[in-house]
Structure 1
Amino acid sequence: MTDLERWRLILGQPAEPATGGLDLVGARRDAALSWLYDRDEELAERDVRGGSGTSVLSTVDWLDDVHRLFPRETIERLQRDAVERYDITEIVTDPDVLARIEPSPALLRAVLRTKRLMNPDLLAMARKLVEAVVRDLLRRLTPELHQSFTGTRSRRPSRLKQARDFDFHRTIRANLGRYQPAERRLLIDSPKFASRTRKHLERWQLILLVDQSGSMAGSVIHSAVTAACLWGLPGLKTHLITFDTAVVDLTEDVTDPVELLMKVQLGGGTDIAKAVAYGAGLIENPRRAIVVVVSDFFEGGDEYRLVHDVRKLAEAGTHVLALAALDEEASPVYDRALAQRLADVGAHVGAMTPGMLAEFVAERLG
């Protein structure tokens, strides 16, 4: 595809005098884009259209077209926009569409929002999509999270010879006398290894309290996967609790994040104070506990009680994290006024990726 063709697809038919027309494949791409993006109300207000596509395409036909016409990263973006921007729920509630769909985090969020509308057969199909996305997230996040707990290499020599601890620079220096200029080779007689500092992990608790209101879908997913990744690490006891106006302890399901996510019910009100009170009741040793509240902090419960309980936790030596997002993008929308009140009484407020949370926990455990 040429640059002019790309600009024609981006700008729509009004740009054709400058960019030239489209060939047959380009016209089919234009029709697929138009089917989706001509729904945008702003285009009508500006009298602009994305292309010459027809609105008679079914969702199944459109999905087949985009899979034939676009690369994978574009397909994922189109599917995400269909679900999240234009609320085309057939993407995850029509069996024919669900059978063709490319698994992605955006579609997992859509499944969590709409699974209550699914019959058992459709729910079984949706579960396969959930499994695929969770498996990919676990594959990518587990090494990153575990790295925070494996210790770092020190400068002290080690007699334990492990490949991961091979000290390249000390080995070169120690064997320079065996360099052979004619062959441009260095013969290594005594390889050197560095010791690895081990974090002395005593019993700590990580208590994740996750808001399951509709806007927090991405954070719910990453909280479940993060808890699964951290489960069983030495010296760390992990709890996972979701809440809206009720509190649900899902710790028993942490080792199966797919089952856990299928139990989550997105939507409803928000009572953060009730969740924090429940989490406080789980603490065994306040000075060896980390309470993480993942929420947009639009509190529907008792704000005074919430601030009071967070203050008590902080004064007792508990680390309290108030996270407006826990996902890969860490771009939150939240009630800044309430978040500031929590910061004023000792909570750490912000947004984190799962890797950043793991680093925070590992630093406290060390």
Structure 2
Amino acid sequence: MKNRNRRSSLKIYKNFDVKSTIRANLKHYDIASKRLILQKPLFHSRIHRFVAERWQLIILVDQSGSMLSSVIHSSIMASIFWGIKSIDTRLILFDTNVVDVTDDCLDPVETLMKVQLGGGTDIGFALSYAEEKIVNPRRTMIVLISDFYEGGPLSKLISTTLRLVESGVKVLGLAALDETANPTYANDVAEKLVKVGAEIAAMTPGELADWVSEKIR
């Protein structure tokens, strides 16, 4: 059991306060390296010890041809949580195919800039792949960065999203932004995803950090 009102000098994973750490270190976000630098990790005091499961964060980045103008935005958003050891993060790129770069990725920004798929779009297929990687649905978040111009079967996208949400997965669709930071996405598809329980939003890196930290508190 955590005592959230007290800080602890016992710096172990089970005491790590993800939400407070992210918020406290947002001012240290390094634009040049596109990384959130954790200069001051915070820890809870514990009344009783217990072994907690790590949260799983699966980041799906749409790299279809229509997303070319959103490469920089996608790269920054995908990089925010990379390297935070208290979260098991997986990075998956997709168009009509899926490329899981988790095991080979040292720098998400560099990877996303170098790897450009640029084909069609099958979001439903990418979500199905992500579903196979889930360990505990109730401790899993999927962040889908896309313009939601689905080229695959829309029924599969909707049914897969519904199945994920009903299993306990928290699904966030991040709307693509163009070079001038204006949201650009298929509103009709986004509305259908919202109806089955996904959240759709256009966020800054700080807002995304707050969303993730709120879900895992």
Q: TM over 0.5, yes or no? A: yes
**Distance (whole Å) between structure 1 residues aligned to residue 113 and residue 128 of structure 2:** 25
Matches within 5 A, 1:129-278: 136-138=31-33, 141-143=35-37, 146=38, 150-151=41-42, 202-217=53-68, 219-257=70-108, 259-278=110-129
2:190 to 339, 344, 356: 339
* Structure 2: gaps (5+ residues): 1-29
Match of 2:215 in 1: 364
- Deviations along 1:76-125, one digit per CA (max 9) or x if unpaired, are xxxxxxxxxxxxxxxxxxxxxxxxxxxxxxxxxxxxxxxxxxxxxxxxxx
Q: What amino acid is the match of 2:159?
A: H
Give distance in 2, aligned partners of 1:216 and 1:204: 28
Preserved contact between residue 65 and residue 120 of structure 2 (Cα < 8 Å):
no
> How many Å separate the matches in 1 of 2:179 and 2:133?
28
What is the SS of the residue equivalent to 1:352? coil
Please tell me the residue identity of whatever aligns with 1:298.
Y
Q: Aligned equivalents of 2:178 and 2:44: distance in 1?
A: 29
**Equivalent residue for 2:147, pick from 273, 287, 296:** 296
Residue 314 of structure 1 contacts residue 347 of structure 1 at CA under 8 Å; is this kept in 2?
Answer: yes
Q: Matches of 2:129 and 2:53 in 1, distance apart?
A: 24
Q: Aligned equivalents of 1:150 and 1:330: distance in 2?
A: 31
Q: Compute the displacement of 1:221 (Å).
A: 3.3
Tell me by how many angstroms 1:225 deviates.
4.0
More helix by share: 1
The separation in 2 between residues aligned to 1:330 and 1:291, in whole angstroms, is 23
State the identity as a percent: 51
The 1:303–1:357 alpha-carbon spacing in structure 2 relative to 1, beyond 3 Å, is same
**What's the CA shift for 1:203?**
0.4
Which residue is 1:349 aligned to?
A: 200
Q: Distance in 1 between matches of 2:194 and 2:45?
A: 32
- In structure 1, distance between residues paired with 2:202 and 2:180: 9
* 1:138–1:225 contact (8 Å) kept in structure 2: no
The one of 166, 169, 179 aligned to 1:315:
166
CA separation in 2, counterparts of 1:349 and 1:273? 16
Contact (CA 8 Å) 1:228, 1:254: kept in 2 or not? Answer: no
CA deviation after TM superposition for structure 1 residue 346, in Å: 0.2
| Letter in structure 1 aligned against 2:129 | Y
CA contact (8 A) 1:328 1:354 kept: no
- After superposition, the C-alpha distances for 1:262-294 in whole angstroms (9 at most, x for unaligned) are 542252211111101011111100000001111
Considering fraction of residues, name the structure with more strand.
2
Please give the alpha-carbon distance, in whole angstroms, between the structure 1 residues aligned to 2:176 and 2:54.
27
- Runs of 5+ in structure 1 lacking a partner? 1-134, 152-195
Q: 2: distance between equivalents of 1:277 and 1:256?
A: 25
Task: State the aligned residue count.
Answer: 184
Asked if the contact 1:211–1:295 (Cα under 8 Å) also holds between the matched residues in 2, the reply is yes
The 3 A distance-change label for structure 1 pair 198 and 300 is farther
Q: Which residue identity is paired with 2:112? A: L
- The change in CA–CA distance for 1:343 and 1:229 in structure 2 (over 3 A counts) is closer
Q: Distance in 1 between matches of 2:105 and 2:205?
A: 15
Question: Are the equivalent residues in 2 in contact too, given 1:137–1:225 (CA < 8 A)?
Answer: no
Q: Is the 8 A contact 2:177 2:184 kept in 1?
A: no
Q: Which has the larger radius of gyration?
A: 1
CA separation of 1:221 and 1:229: change in aligned 2, threshold 3 A: same
| Cα distance change, pair 326–231 in 1 and its aligned pair in 2 (3 A) | farther
Q: Give the number of the structure with larger relative contact order, counting CA–CA contacts within 8 Å between residues 6 or more apart.
A: 2
Distance in 2, matches of 1:224 and 1:280, equals 22
SS at match of 1:230: coil
Counterpart CA distance in 2 for 1:311 and 1:325 is 22
What displacement does 1:224 show?
3.5
CA distance in 1, matches of 2:153, 2:114: 26
Normalising by structure 2, we get a TM-score of: 0.73
Q: What is the alpha-carbon root mean square deviation over aligned residues?
A: 3.0
Rounded Cα–Cα distance in structure 2 between residues aligned with 1:150 and 1:218? 35
Task: Give, as a single letter, the amino acid of the residue that structure 2 aligns with 1:274.
Answer: F
